[in-house]
Structure 1
């Protein structure tokens, strides 16, 4: 892994600037020790870098796999054929996660613990859990227990994915404990771009992430000593109460920052996949006019709701939580009427968030009645939930996770996707590991997995 990155450099520079400011007497910092960079300097960079990763190449690749997009140029064109270059997008994302927010969050947590600034510990644990969830959803077994130690360990072992999910839940439990504490030290305010220091909202996000990552484990229910659906439902009860609690990154707060998804659309690397546009048209879904535009009569992603320079990045949302609740209730009791209620609440929340006042409430109600009402057996109800979640979670890697664990929505693989890296040509189940890990990490797993090798929760 790279050990020095742009993010670290920025933080170090920011720390030095802080030292020569009028606040130098208030902060006891050794300028030669990056571990002592204060929490309020690290936090905004960590938040922005996570948002950038969640809107970047990882979600583009997963979006191609689940047929939100079609890759037509540059590396996305290769991904469209189920070829994932280990030296390009996966290399960048892997290194940017580990050398960016993950190592910086570990530093922030360590500093905050030493200073007794418990809210920063809680935020750091929550964001680190989110990073781990994203990385393991893309690659499976990943370094963690021996990682994030800079140059002290250049070959960290790859932890089994089961251990990663246990670590995620431990981090989130610790976050909640820290959010419940009171103290007199530094507290986040404007340095917290996501919530402005609103700890009640952070606590809800921690519970929502617990629900998300328990739901990832539904295919492993029989082998676990707990029911993932039950655990997810319990977490839902303490999570977001409305879209006002959504965690999303507000691009546009600075003229120098823009949503990275904008670049993919503007450069014409991807276009809407006809499979997705046909689904929205068949359902007469009003969100289609917000997800993509028509250019010369063809669907185009440029300057849509998610691809303008100032488009927000949805990180954890109320509508996702309600979809999780709907599925959890269905899995626990296929006749629970509250499962359909949660599903319909999810669809309404997402449509209102995306479309705003552009469509009347009556249109939303008609759509919900026609497309978010249960009928048939358990499998048909699950299909209804995941289809609506798939539409609502546009531009999120969570849709790829849902597809792999439920088989929905039903997708037809690219007929040209059979290659040595993806034998058989089915829709990929994972990303390739990056080249630097294969070449330089002595603990790199062997044999080299293909894109069809399933990791633990997908078996």
Structure 2
């Protein structure tokens, strides 16, 4: 049962408390006086919540599955994830507080406040972030509460909508597609708005054109996710965005969410592996290290720390004696999480857009040159990581097997997805989506693999509390070896 308490949309900022943004995250107001909450107060909460939901426990789960990280503590959640063991208690907080009781209810409230205060600009942003957060939920769990969710005590036991209906819509059941939810948000951004965001907007400081670009790029991401299952629909949406021409085209347009640099406000990826009691639960995977070494990838020392003469890693599923001291372990470097935890969390990016369009041109036949778009994606990622144009040119010239798409379409797709996999280091959810739907990059089973059948998780199991309290949840539900609707690889 998804309970939406009146005060639930104040939970995330109390957890995050960004330094440098205190004017906009100081929302410790009485929940019995909701008129005190304005769109300007709530917007950064929604933005921070979306970033937190992406980068916290679900990111650790996905980053281990795709073997960029390894679980170092055998009995920890990352350690169990690494051998494919999962239970319904794994992600209760992420379901209840970070998504449904956090980002999603906050986004819904932001939409309502925007509409009530002649602030359609806020409503538009709220709908874009609501669609983004719902895409996380359905991509992780499959069928989830959607059309009947976020109604509070009016409907404490919402039905589960099928993932197909969430993506495609179902008029007979009153289900709006994620695509149409984003389109509504884009229309709101263009509507008359007497109240508009400014410095309360953590991502774009009130630049609505950039939000329009982000919304259209979200349409590309959603279409790409279902492209193997619904190629015709994906092609239609991608062509729609290309025709409009307003989407993320430069790194300066990226939808990045910043965090603070002090304890209590840091990027959750930084806090977990550098400050928390659980900081020794995760370490760089030997498999990821070897993959980047084999590619001579210059981003390796930018993505992960190298405490000595070499990186300190373990294999996925390793159950032997851990390297000592743990302070020397290779962990996310400053590019991924910030020097002191400032992040940012990269939600929608220029390199992502280029790789999506490269794949789409290759597989779906949408406009564009796959090779040019592929090169653009690599260049955007390496530029974001701090490499100079000369360094990028030198690397590509010296590594033609990376630089040039060759072979069959399947082999070319593998190259595209492998580079996207590297570029999105730190965003495990996006990588996991690609691994599931394409099978690339190719991964081999962890050591000591267990779980249902010794295979990597292709979904998360439903949280126990929902199974116990909401009769719409199957109990037992689908296990971790049952593919979600769009995953046909």
Provide the TM-score with structure 1 as the length reference: 0.89
Closer/same/farther in 2, CA of residues 446 and 235 from structure 1, 3 Å limit: farther
Q: What is the root-mean-square deviation in Å for CA atoms of aligned residues? A: 2.5
Closer/same/farther in 2, CA of residues 447 and 30 from structure 1, 3 Å limit: closer
Report what 1:271 is aligned to.
Answer: 283
Q: Is 1:244 the counterpart of 2:275 in the alignment?
A: no
Distance 2:399 2:189 in 1: 37
Map 1:7-22; keep pairs closer than 5 Å.
8-9=9-10
Distance 1:208 1:116 in 2: 26
Map 1:156-305; keep pairs closer than 5 Å.
156-166=158-168, 167-183=177-193, 185-221=194-230, 226-236=232-242, 237-252=245-260, 256-266=264-274, 267-295=279-307, 297=310, 298-299=312-313, 300-305=330-335
Distance 2:209 2:178 in 1: 20
Q: Is 1:114 the counterpart of 2:116 in the alignment?
A: yes
Unaligned runs of 5+ in 2: 15-28, 169-176, 314-329
Report what 2:43 is aligned to.
Answer: 43
Closer/same/farther in 2, CA of residues 204 and 435 from structure 1, 3 Å limit: same
Secondary structure of 2:228's counterpart equals: helix
Distance 1:66 1:244 in 2: 28
Could you list the per-position Cα deviations for residues 319-353 of structure 1 after superposition, in whole angstroms to 9, with x for gaps in the alignment? 0000000000001349x871110010000000010
Distance 1:146 1:113 in 2: 20
Report what 2:462 is aligned to.
Answer: 433
Secondary structure of 1:355's counterpart equals: coil
Distance 1:162 1:152 in 2: 25
Secondary structure of 1:271's counterpart equals: strand
Distance 1:315 1:264 in 2: 19
Could you list the per-position Cα deviations for residues 291-333 of structure 1 after superposition, in whole angstroms to 9, with x for gaps in the alignment? 1122354141154422341221101101000000000000134
Map 1:296-445; keep pairs closer than 5 Å.
297=310, 298-299=312-313, 300-308=330-338, 309-333=341-365, 338-357=369-388, 360-366=391-397, 369-396=400-427, 397-419=429-451, 422=452, 424-445=453-474
The structural deviation recorded for 1:2 is 4.4
Secondary structure of 1:429's counterpart equals: coil
Unaligned runs of 5+ in 1: 14-28
Distance 2:398 2:240 in 1: 29
Closer/same/farther in 2, CA of residues 229 and 364 from structure 1, 3 Å limit: farther
Distance 2:471 2:365 in 1: 47
Secondary structure of 1:218's counterpart equals: coil
8 Å CA contact 1:272, 1:292 repeated in 2: yes
Distance 1:358 1:51 in 2: 30
8 Å CA contact 1:211, 1:235 repeated in 2: yes
Runs of 4+ deviating beyond 6 Å: none
Secondary structure of 1:77's counterpart equals: helix
Report what 1:84 is aligned to.
Answer: 86
Could you list the per-position Cα deviations for residues 212-239 of structure 1 after superposition, in whole angstroms to 9, with x for gaps in the alignment? 00111122136xxx34134224425421
Q: Is 1:54 the counterpart of 2:40 in the alignment?
A: no
Closer/same/farther in 2, CA of residues 320 and 233 from structure 1, 3 Å limit: farther
Provide the TM-score with structure 2 as the length reference: 0.83
8 Å CA contact 1:46, 1:101 repeated in 2: yes
The structural deviation recorded for 1:138 is 0.6
